[in-house]
Amino acid sequence: MVCVFHFQFTSLRCGGMILCTAINHCLCDGIGTSQFLHAWAQLTKNPQTNLTIPPFHWRHVLKPRYPPMVNLLNPGYTGTQPTPQVNLLKLIQSQPLVPTSFIFNPSHVLYLKKQCVPSLKCTTFEVVAAHTWRSWIRSMNLSLPSTLIVKLLFSINIRTIMNLPKGYYGNGFLLGYAESTIKDLVENNLHHGVKLVQKAKSTVNDEEYIRSTVDLLEDKTVKTDVSTSLVISQWSKLGLEEVDFGEGKALHMGPLTSDVYCLFLPVIGGDANGVRVVVSVPESMVENFQYYMKESWEKKIEKNGDHVKNGYHVHENPFF
């Protein structure tokens, strides 16, 4: 039997409390989770109150068409499972993992945006996602073929696009899909990665594309190929840090453990426009990953005969 949700409440001697939640993704997405927790907190403080956002439970508004009509293909999903040229996910998970965390405040984000040449207008998510993806690939101590296609998968809220009722409680997101060869992602500046993220977002901004994907997923053999993918889930705009059961807002909000899947979290107690990036990487990657993630705001120092090209140190392998 699959547990739909699980909650654990721990009361601390200091008067504080810890609330751990585990909600099956079949039930709802991050926005649904946030909606539930805010409603629970609101009723805890005032059981007689009317919910600010009543839940809308009718899932039929996103049901597949009959018969299914896949008019637009979503490259993030495949019905076949071809043997990948290189399975990065398998290689990463076969090694001891180390959690990493990076905070990007508005000045860091602005510096990243200035690295896009030619300049372009972009959001904090777009530039930090592209930077994280690029840093993740550059950090791998592997002799990977420069023509290998690497992917970035990230969740996109489709509630507004599909005009879903306010309070829709379920899964109202689709995966955005960006891809690039290692050579293009690493040798080009950040502009290249940002444009790919923006293209992925604009592709999803189409009702027929979403309906086609819903119909495609009726085929239970269809899966997401994550063999060469970095997967990012954005929690920084869910408002989870604002949940208040009557004892005050959270001092910390985040996953119980870190994983190979990357999370964007809010910066609690800091600038509301900042973002905290959390992801686990193999021990062999940690030093390089920290260097590439933080080089956007730390002074670049040339030493030991290394030189800087396109913002990254050139080693024996020209791509890492």
Are 90 and 227 a contacting pair, CB within 8 Å? yes
Task: From the candidates 6, 25, 206, 306, give the one annotated as an active-site residue.
Answer: 25
Residue 14 CB-density burial (10 A; 0-12 exposed, 13-18 middle, 19+ buried): exposed
Q: Is 25 a catalytic residue?
A: yes
Neighbours of 192 (CB within 10 A): 16
Q: Which amino acid is at 231?
A: V
Q: Which amino acid is at 150?
A: V
Are 18 and 40 a contacting pair, CB within 8 Å? no
Task: From the candidates 184, 192, 244, 271, give the one annotated as an active-site residue.
Answer: 244
Residue 207 φ/ψ, nearest 5 degrees: -60, -40
In the numeric block, the tokens 């050139």 are attached to 314
Neighbouring residues of 164: CB distance < 8 A, sequence distance ≥ 6: 56, 61, 62, 158, 172
210 SS3 class: helix
Active site residues: 25, 244
